[in-house]
Each structure stands twice: as C-alpha cells, then as structure tokens.
Amino acid sequence: MLPEQLGTIALHLLLAELTLTTPTHAPLIDPTFLFRFEVPIRQHDCEFGTSAAKSGLELPETCRVPSFGALSGQRAFADVRMAWDKTAIAFTLEVSGKKTLPWCRDSRTEDSDGFHLWIDTRCSPGIHRATQYCHRFLFMPTGGGPKRETPMTGLMPINRARQNPKSPPNGSILVHVQARHDGYRMSGRIAAEAMTGFDAVQYPRIGLYYAVIDRELGWQTFSLGEEYPVVEDPSLWGEATLVR
C-alpha cells in the first residue's frame, strides 16, 4: 500500500472506519496493524565526511521518512531521513525536546537511547523469522569509550533468526553525532558490503522498519510499536523502494 497516494485526510478517514474501539474510543489494536506501509527512499550522494571540514552528511527534506506510529498516538520527537546510492544506505536523525542527556550503555544496548534500523535486502513480507538478508543496525549517540562519550554502532543479532547475515567489515558502518541543547543530531552510513544481499539495481525493494528509542521521550517507530514483536518478525515491518 502506498500511503502517499491516499493523502493524510483520506488515510485518517479510512483508519476511523476500520479501527475497533472501546466506548471511550481507545483503540483495541494499533491502527497501523491494519496496513503494510511502503515509502520511497530517494537516491542521493551518501558520501560520509570524516574530517573537521565535513563530518557526517546532510540529507534534504525530500528524503524524510514518516513515522506512521503517530497514527496510534506515538509522540513524534525525531526527524528521520534516509537515502541510498550504489555504495550505501545512509540516514540523518534529529532528536529534539529532551531535557536530559541520552542514556546509553555498551553493556545494555537494547535499553539504550538510539536509532535502531531493520533492513531486509530481499523484502520477504511473508516470513516470521529473519533470514541472512535481514539486518538490525544500532546507532547510539554516546555509550562508547572509557567515559561513555563516544558514539557507537554495529550489527545486532535478531532473536529467533533462521540465519544470520555476514559480519560487516571494519569501517563499513559509520556514525557522527552533534550534541544540541535539547537533543542531538546523528548521521550514519551503512556500506553495501555491510548488508548481505544488497543490490539496489536487481532488488530495489527492501523490507524496512525503524525505531528511535529514548528513555525520556519514548519510542518513535516507522509503524507498529514495541507492544508487537517487530524486533524479530519481518512480517511486521514495512517496505521501501529505492527510487532514483
């Protein structure tokens, strides 16, 4: 399903008709459970700066990825943008509205603040257990180093997976973070060689799900919330098309 074809008003009307509610209008199920969302990820230069003159990357507003979790009442506190080129998939993330510092621990990555990104390079919506093409990438704004001040990133295992993707080569996953007075800005790059089966030409459709996790602000997700087994079930993810 292509939500952009419905328009915001039509989508809300459709949800109002289909969502089961109690007498107090509290949804019995997450409204996003009724849909499998598909979004475009646009082609853009994913070159990642690693010098003082240019650190990380910038993506235009046309690369913004929506959070359909807002339809079920999630608070939207992060701006998420994604892009691709033949060498990588990249993102920018801006979290705002915080009053406390991010909580990140290298020993408790599941509980830490950060950006979790699930990608299935073969887009297999009918499976319930991850294959070698399913990846879970983690990007944390802090938590590394002796003082826990260094950003961290890596490939995390997916529970109950039938097979695991190849280990990403050193230096193939990059992250850059800028602290802000009410949050942080983060950009990341996942090289093609870090994603088993990635081929934007032969397989332009991918499975996609993300979660911005924050102890203070909560979860902002692509679609379903943490109440569902989205962290391990690819059938609950959405889809993205790598468009030129």
pLDDT surpasses 70 at 231: yes
Q: How many domains does the chain have?
A: 1
Q: Report yes or no on 135 lying in a domain.
A: yes
Q: Report yes or no on 27 lying in a domain.
A: no
What's the confidence (pLDDT) of residue 203?
96
pLDDT digits (tens, 9 = 90+) for 106-128: 888 988 999 999 999 999 999 99
Q: What is the CATH number of the domain that holds 88?
A: 2.60.40.1190
pLDDT surpasses 90 at 50: no
Q: Report yes or no on 31 lying in a domain.
A: no
Q: Report yes or no on 107 lying in a domain.
A: yes
Q: How many CB atoms lie within 10 A of CB 51?
A: 6
| Domain coverage including residue 86 | 39-243
Q: Which has more confidence, 27 or 141? A: 141
pLDDT digits (tens, 9 = 90+) for 170-216: 999 999 999 999 999 999 999 999 999 999 999 999 999 999 999 99
Average pLDDT, the chain: 89
pLDDT surpasses 60 at 7: no
What's the confidence (pLDDT) of residue 55?
85
Give CA torsion, residues 150, 55, 221, 62, to 10 deg: 180
Average pLDDT over residues 142-153: 92
Q: Report yes or no on 18 lying in a domain.
A: no
The phi-psi region of residue 114 (left if phi > 0; otherwise alpha if psi is between -120 and 50; otherwise beta) is left
Q: Report yes or no on 196 lying in a domain.
A: yes
Average pLDDT over residues 132-138: 98
Q: Report yes or no on 16 lying in a domain.
A: no
Average pLDDT over residues 10-17: 44
Q: Report yes or no on 3 lying in a domain.
A: no
Measured at the CA of 140, the angle between CA 90 and CA 119, to 5 degrees, comes to 45
Query: pTM for this structure?
Result: 0.87
- DSSP element (H, E) containing 134: strand 134-144
pLDDT surpasses 60 at 14: no
